[in-house]
Structure 1
Amino acid sequence: MLKKLRIGLLGSGFVQNFHMESYREISQAEVVAVASRNPKHVKKFAKKWGVKTTYSDEDFIEKLCSDPNVDVVDIGIPNFLHMKAAITAAENHKNVICEKPLGRNTKEAQKMVKAVEKYGVLHAYAENELFSPHNVKAKEFIDSGAIGKVIWVRSREAHFGPHSQWFWNKKLAGGGCIVDMGCHSIEAARFFIGKERKPLEVFAWTATLVHRDRTDAEDNSLTLVKYEGDALAQSENSWAAHGGLDHRFEIHGTDGAIFLNPTRETGMKVFTVAPEKKVGYVIEKAEVMKGWLLPLWGEYLIYGYYPELKHFIESFLKDELPRETFHDGLIVNRIMDAAYKSAKSGKWVKL
């Protein structure tokens, strides 16, 4: 049995920095290659993290996936490339980790599931929310019966817009804030409510309220998902909220409730009028670096990336599927597709 897995990263953008911070603390994993379409960006990333092999040609996906020194392909590239990357990795008999969302839509996600099953490779859906220490602790309370039967989960994830330009392109991304952040909210709600309780129908409202000059996708949304056993998940998502990343959960049960607010109650407050270059990084999507600040330490841990990737690597080493797979990603895609259909029709959509 292998004692260490060699990781090949597809992508050198924002999220892959969280992945690299995590992998450097996982003794059973070693990142041996990174590939991206942007030669300058991938070389800068490789130098920063000490990755020896880089690929940046037009066929960077094929080259990394066929690299004999790579055991696992970690997909962290734009949504419109997820399907191609996952299928190429499977065809090269590489186990694969794919960042959220799995596909831009259900059709793409189904093809990805079909590929990993056809070639018999292990697959992981990288939904970090399910591994965040706050959320894991909340789930422990739920499973112990501390709040009774979960009947309502409310989530909010909002900021003033994505890092990269491709997010704003509805065709490339597959949608707007629902595809970007709603996928987090949807899967976290499944986690809290219990995956054994099936989602039944979806209702959603979407609108472009602020960024009409940047996108034809929604920058605000409200999604409701009904579950078996009289449970409801409500997710609020926005690309039009100032103040940095706002990320919260309320979990209500028949005997109690849980409130989670990791980005607004960080345990630290800083007031500064110093030049921004002296302040440095504060928190994801922070817009200003003066006045009262709420720094968040160890985002790769707080957001769940480290425990997520550690679990994936340990599962792969045991030749086992992890607890989040492409099948979970497919369910999320189905719910998001139903949300868009509902927003267009103004009616509940059955799953």
Structure 2
Amino acid sequence: MATESFGIGFVSCGFITRELHVPSVEYLPDVHVAGIQNRTRDTAADLATECREAGLGDPTVYGEGEVAALAADPDVDGLWVTSPNFTRVDVVDGAIDAIDDGASLRGIAMEKPVARNLREAAHVIDRIEEAGLSHAYLENWPHEPDIRKMRELLWERGRPAGRPYLARSQAEHGGPHSAWFWDGELQGGGALTDMLCHALAGNHVLLSDPERPDGDLEAVAVSADTETLKWSRKRYAQQLREEHGVDYESDPTDDYARATVRYEDENGEPVISEASGSWCYVGAGVRRTIELLGPEYSGQVVADEESSSVFFSDSAGNGEGWAEKQTATSGRMPIDAASAVTGGFVAENRDAVDAFRDGENGMLDLEDGRRILRLCMAAYRAAETGQEVDLRTVDLSTYTPPPARGRQRV
């Protein structure tokens, strides 16, 4: 590579990149931002300026249709794909085509979810693996310090009593910050694919034996419910129509979802993952609760309880927020300082960089992403049919969730 420092090339510079992935680079030794590609070139240029001012690198800017150029940049060692779900196939195709033409990369890391459905996931993974590239699945929950420590303590000290048998995760906020999230066809679903993919991945890691990296659990069945509780109501549907150009009165996606995954361990004993999430929560940012229970122990992480907060009156509160998914600018609000660290983004990016430097996949790789996506597809199928889905027999390879089957645009 051109430098000893590992150069990250970001594909897209939306909220998750701008507020979490890029700031995490400050904490990564011998890592810099080498390039930024975005469909709106000016947005990429603005983020590149911020990187230079913060001492995070001197990234080259690329615009729409220039993923291949980013992949071919000699200062870029790995691509971090954080672009909208509907772009994933084109992004990977562009990057792999560049490699076929002589570009050199050490790996590709992809933000959750890996794709909109299992057809797209298969295409993406096949192309990356055929090119011989290392890969990582950017799911931050299992990397969060509090969650990792809870898992470590409960498995280590609770093992003599027996393995944990129940994980519960809840994640909700007031709704996505970009228009494409609200469009079921572009996003691939609704709150289920946006929120439950986090909770299902987190639960799976919590329930998996740390001493068995090849896995000791088999997912055998999924039951689920989905509903549109808030955003199809006339007042809120009108808000979405005006702000994002989607029609939630005629074609709503789910803004609430619940799924239960039944596993069996190596001895055939039942292990349960319960996940719920919504876009209906009205509060200061994101609300999450993560629990792990075993025969003689339990642990909990409540992720919305910040140790620091501020208060603004209504007269002073008009302005932009500063916390993720903040839905108000007055009253008492958490100060979400160092969220790149506490949210697990530093740890997941360090893991990916270290793995790519060693020619390996990340702790979570794209096969893990495909497994979580399959659980999401099974949950949509279960909610659609009203019946539990048997994961040992069901074929979801061509399944498309109801919200993603084509929508009437306004």
Q: What TM-score do you get using the length of structure 2 for normalisation? A: 0.81
Distance 1:186 1:207 in 2: 18
Please tell me whether the aligned partners of residues 90 and 121 of structure 1 are also in contact (alpha carbons under 8 angstroms): no
Q: Residues 154 and 297 of structure 2 are in contact (CA less than 8 Å); yes or no, is this contact kept in structure 1? A: no
The Cα of 1:49 is off from its aligned counterpart by: 1.6
Residue identity opposite 1:66 in structure 2: A
What letter corresponds to residue 120 of structure 2 in structure 1? E
Return the alpha-carbon distance in structure 1 between the equivalents of residues 330 and 318 of structure 2.
Answer: 11
Residues 1-351 of structure 1 mapped to structure 2, 5 A cutoff: 3-17=4-18, 18-50=20-52, 51-57=58-64, 59-91=65-97, 92=99, 93-94=104-105, 95-146=107-158, 148-194=162-208, 195-212=215-232, 213=237, 214=240, 215=248, 216-228=252-264, 229-243=269-283, 244-263=285-304, 265-273=305-313, 275-276=316-317, 281-351=321-391
Structure with max Cα Rg: 2
Deviations 1:152-185 (A, max 9, x none): 1111110110010000010110000111111100
**CA deviations over 1:231-290 (Å, ceiling 9, x no partner):** 111111100111021011121111111111021x21224333272379x74421111232
Q: Give distance in 2, aligned partners of 1:156 and 1:28.
A: 36
CA contact (8 A) 1:282 1:293 kept: no
Give CA deviations for 1:72-114 in whole Å, capped at 9, x if unaligned.
Answer: 1110110011222234323425310100000101111111221
- Three-state SS of the structure 2 residue aligned to 1:6 is strand
8 Å Cα contact 1:282-1:294 kept in structure 2: no
Assess if the C-alpha contact under 8 Å between 1:86 and 1:98 holds in 2. Answer: no
Amino acid at match of 1:44: D
Secondary structure, aligned partner of 2:69: helix
Task: Tell me the CA shift for residue 40 of structure 1.
Answer: 2.4
**Take 2:219 and 2:47, find their aligned partners in 1: how far apart are those partners?**
40
Range with greater deviation from structure 2 (265-274 or 38-47): 265-274
Distance in 1 (CA, whole Å) between partners of 2:96 and 2:90 is 10
Identity among equivalent positions (%) equals 26
1:323 match: secondary structure: coil
- Number of residue pairs matched? 348
Give distance in 1, aligned partners of 2:301 and 2:138: 21
Residue 149 of structure 1 contacts residue 255 of structure 1 at CA under 8 Å; is this kept in 2? no
Contact 1:168 1:176 in 2 (8 A): yes
Q: Structure 1 counterpart of 2:47, which letter?
A: F
Structure 1 unaligned regions, length at least 5: none
Secondary structure of the equivalent of 1:146?
A: helix
Structure 2 CA distance for partners of 1:89 and 1:143, relative to 1, 3 Å? farther
- Contact kept, 8 Å, 1:203 with 1:223, in 2: the verdict is yes
Amino acid at match of 2:63: S
* Per-residue Cα deviation, 1:9-50 (whole angstroms, up to 9, x for no partner): 101110112111011221221111101001221121111222
Q: Is the Cα contact below 8 Å between 2:155 and 2:164 reproduced in 1?
A: no
> What's the C-alpha RMSD, in Å, of the aligned pairs?
1.8
Query: Per the alignment, do residues 35 and 252 of structure 1 end up closer, same or farther by CA in structure 2, a change over 3 Å counting?
Result: same
Distance 1:284 1:348 in 2: 34
- Quick one: distance in 2 between partners of 1:282 and 1:31? 23
Q: Which moved more, 1:15-24 or 1:281-290?
A: 281-290
Contact 2:221–2:390 at 8 Å: present in 1 too?
yes
Cα-to-partner distance string for 1:305-335 (whole Å, 9 max, x where unaligned): 0111011111111222221100100101111
- The separation in 2 between residues aligned to 1:342 and 1:112, in whole angstroms, is 26
* Unaligned runs of at least 5 residues, structure 2: 53-57, 209-214, 241-247, 392-410
The one-letter amino acid of 2:190's match is G
Contact 1:89 1:96 in 2 (8 A): no
Whole-angstrom distance in 1 between the partners of 2:90 and 2:310: 44
8 A Cα contact 2:154 2:298, kept in partner: no
1:296: Cα distance to partner? Answer: 2.4
Contact kept? 1:142, 1:192, Cα under 8 Å:
no
Residue aligned with 1:101, SS: coil
Contact 1:202 1:225 in 2 (8 A): yes
Distance 1:111 1:142, change over 3 A: farther
Instruction: Output the CA distance in 2 between the equivalents of 1:52 and 1:11.
Output: 13
